[in-house]
Each structure stands twice: as structure tokens, then as C-alpha cells.
Amino acid sequence: MNRLVLVLGWVICLSTQAYGQKQNKTTEPLLTAVGGLLAARLEAVAPGGVVLIAKKGAVVYKKAFGLANVKTVIPMQPDMAFRIGSITKQFTAIAILQLVEAGKVSLRDSIQRYVPDYPHQQYPVTIEHLLTHTSGIKDYQAVTNRAAERASYTPKQGVDYFKNEPLEFKPGSKFRYSNSNYYLLGYILEVVAGQSYADYLQHNLLNKAGLQHTQYLIANEVVANMPQGYSRYDKGLELAELQDITIMYAAGGLASTAEDLFKWHQALRAGKLVSKKLLKKAHTPYRLSDGTYSGYGYGWYLRKLDASTTIEHAGSTDGFQADGIYLPDADTYVVTLFNCFEQDMDWTVLANDVARVATGKPVEATVVVDKSILEKYAGEYTFDASHKLIVTFKEGSLFIEDTNPNDRLPQVRVYPQNEHKFYMKEAPVTFDFLYDNQKQLLKVITYVSGRKDAEWLKTK
């Protein structure tokens, strides 16, 4: 790894000189600030990456950092193609919305209208429920169906894998991110359009948006100009084992470049693919049945980065991780692409900090909390039998993970606001460590977007 550190440092310097935009008074601060972030933190995220920043419809910064291939010491280049994982969902959503505009699909239609053999449940599931992750359909990644397992799937076989699972909640009542929703949308698209998902996207989205370097991946086909993908686990950096693309399908099967993702963003804003009115609906949080809002529209998260509104989505898949963040108040669009899968979410923290720098905001300084206090917080906190938080103290910081995979909280680092309140940079979630006077034990209160979520009592 010492050799890798030295090589990364060399390539970061090389990339800064070779691939940066022409320096002027506008771009020079970005060159310095973003370059500093990547130089300091890329090694913990991936061997290499690409960053693009656009302001008011024009690219002001596009640069490659690090290595596309560690073994052969090939530098990353700014126009390389990456698997973009769940950023694919916004392409699927727009394809469905095109069918809505054409009168071929209604957001209120039940899924059985297009998939007659999909089992009816106690409550109907609509197209809109799929788009907004409020269907209650279980994520196929959390389903075990040995009888239906195979190396690759047709769209119908993929739907059959999870279709008999019971709903996890009444549709429209909760938000729970599920890849099954978008897998099913891809299949419905094929049924309605009468052509494959890949062909529909090519003719109706990619060509119209002028995306010449974006494609639906084909199993076992080598993509030109794609860096080597890696994974980072306990044993360190290793070559990624690329999952068969039919497993991801319409939930995560695209590859693209930073420049093409910007063109996609521009085509949407210009109304080339769907009406601006319908796009605005896609960028509006879904209202749940209790009157609260989910923080997700049709294929995009609607969040806050500090005080700034964001329209964004990340993608994490074998060997690659990507993020696309739009800050409408500043009319700034940021793309970060990395050639490594790593579970501790450092890549999204880095993407958020690039977005902060792009809009002239400081990267937040970390409040220092005494080690003895942090060590006291470490342990297991229980909400109920199936929901536990594991708090770990290591490397001078606190890390928190949820043991229930449906809660989608892998181990992430949390940062102190003060001695007892901590936040994660990946999502608007905070953790308040307090003393429960009645039970004489520590507890954690979790808050999501400022609203109380749950109380977790320390049990170990």
C-alpha cells in the first residue's frame, strides 16, 4: 500500500496539470479547493475519480484524479465511463413519465394493469408508489428465493423472484427505498412500449439528450474507456467482481461519464424529455398518507445540504460509486465518480464537501470531543428485537450502523455538533446521546430532517 500512496500522490499532481480547465479568476479557487479535498481524501475512497462542476448551465470545472488502473498505473481521465448504479433510477423514472405524457400510463394505475400475474395484495400498489419508493414491496436484495435464483435474469424472471413477497407496509404510508420498485418499472416500460428497456432508453432518452457515452450495460461486454473497478473491505483494496447487469436492470444498469450526466441534467431542465411541469413534480417530495413528506420524488432525493436545497441521487454498485447533486438556488450541478465500492460512505461525504466548495461554502470543521466521552457512547442500543444500533469507537471517532438491513444504514462515521449530539454527512440524520433518568442508562434519540424518529436504549 505504500507504493499505492506514492503513486496516487504522483497521479493527482499529474491530473491537476493535464486535465484541469483553463485557469482564470473564476476557476482558480475551485482548482485549489477541490484539488485539496481530493488530494487529502481520495485514498480513503477510491484509487481514482472524476469531478465535474457546472454553474448556470456551463461546465466550470472538470478534472480527473488518481488511477484508472492500479496495477498498470494508468491515470484516470475526465471522460472515462463509470457504472452509475442507482442514478439509473432517474432515467427509468423519466421514461415512465414520457409514457404518462403520452397517455399510455397513469400514475394512479395499479401494477396489475400491466403485470396481470403480479399477486394482488391487501392494498393496491400504483405506478406512483413504485416511483416514490412508497409501495411496500420488499427490496429484492433482501429477498431469499432459492428456487428462482439464477446467474442472469430476463426482466420477467427478475420480477418473479420477488413478486410473491408480502407488502412491508400499506402503500403510500411510508418511504422505504427498494430496488424492486424500479426493477418492476423497467418491466412495465417494456410491456407498454413493446421494446426492450435498453432500446427504449436509447431512442427516447439518450439520443434526444445527446448522450453519446451513456449506455445500458450488456452482460459480459467490455465497455470502452471504463476504468478498472475495485472494492475496499477489511483486507484493503481488491479487484471488484462485477455483478451481472440483469440483476440490477432498470434499478442500476447504466454506465455514463461526468460530461454526459451534465448533458442529461441540461436536457431535463430544457424540457427536451418531459415537460417542465412534470419534471417539477418529479422533483417534489411525495406526500405520505399521514400528511408528512418523504424526501423523495420520482427518481430523485430532495434534501438539504446545510441550508441549501438539493435535488440529488447517488449510485453505488460493484466496483463503482457515483453522485449527482443539483443545488437550484445556486444553479450549480456537481458530479463525482469513483472507481471503488466502499461501505463506510466516505465517498458521499466527499461529494457533499465538493458541493459545498462549489457553492462557496466552507467544509465544516469538526468539533473535538474528549476520547473518554466517545468511548462511553460505544455499545449496542435497542429499539426493538429487530432494530439495533451498533456504536463503535475507533480511530478517534464514532461510527454507527443499524443491524436491520431494511433501515439501510451501513456503518458510517458521525460528527459531533457538541458533546452529546452527532450527525452524519450522508443524510439529514442526527443522533442525540442522553441519559435516561428512569432506567439509569444511556439512550440515543434519532432525528430525521429535524423530526424525532425513535429512541434507542443502551443494552450492551
pLDDT tens figures, 221-244: 788 899 999 998 766 899 998 889
Whether residue 116 is predicted with pLDDT greater than 70 in this model: the reply is yes
Mean pLDDT of 78-95: 98
d(CA 8, CA 76): 10
Mean pLDDT of 408-417: 85
Going by C-alpha positions, the residue among 417, 340, 449, 394 that lies closest to residue 41 is 340
Cα R_g (the chain), whole angstroms: 22
Whether residue 95 is predicted with pLDDT greater than 70 in this model: the reply is yes
φ, ψ of residue 281 to 5 degrees: the values are: -65, -40
Mean pLDDT of 65-78: 96
Cell numbers for 302: 430532495
User: Sheet harboring 236-239: ordered strands across?
Assistant: 236-239, 230-233, 340-342
Domains of the chain listed by start with CATH number: 371-458 (2.40.128.50)
Residue 274: which pLDDT band, with cuts at 50, 70 and 90? Answer: very high
Q: What is the 3-state secondary structure (H, E, C) of 301-341?
A: EEEEECCEEEEEEEEEECCEEEEEEEEHHHCEEEEEEECEE
Cβ–Cβ under 8 Å, residues 435 and 420:
no
pTM of the model: 0.82
User: Each residue of 312-339: pLDDT tens digit?
Assistant: 999 999 999 999 999 999 999 999 999 9
Whether residue 22 is predicted with pLDDT greater than 50 in this model: the reply is no
Going by C-alpha positions, the residue among 412, 451, 457 that lies closest to residue 433 is 457
Find which of 32-46, 253-267, 339-353, 375-389 is predicted with most confidence, using mean pLDDT: 253-267
What integer pLDDT is reported at residue 6 of this predicted model?
Answer: 26
Q: H or E segment at 423?
A: strand 421-423
Question: Which of 67-81, 126-140, 391-405, 423-437 is predicted with the least confidence, judged by mean pLDDT?
Answer: 423-437
Whether residue 8 is predicted with pLDDT greater than 50 in this model: the reply is no
The number of C-alpha atoms within 13 Å of 335 and in the hemisphere containing its C-beta is 27
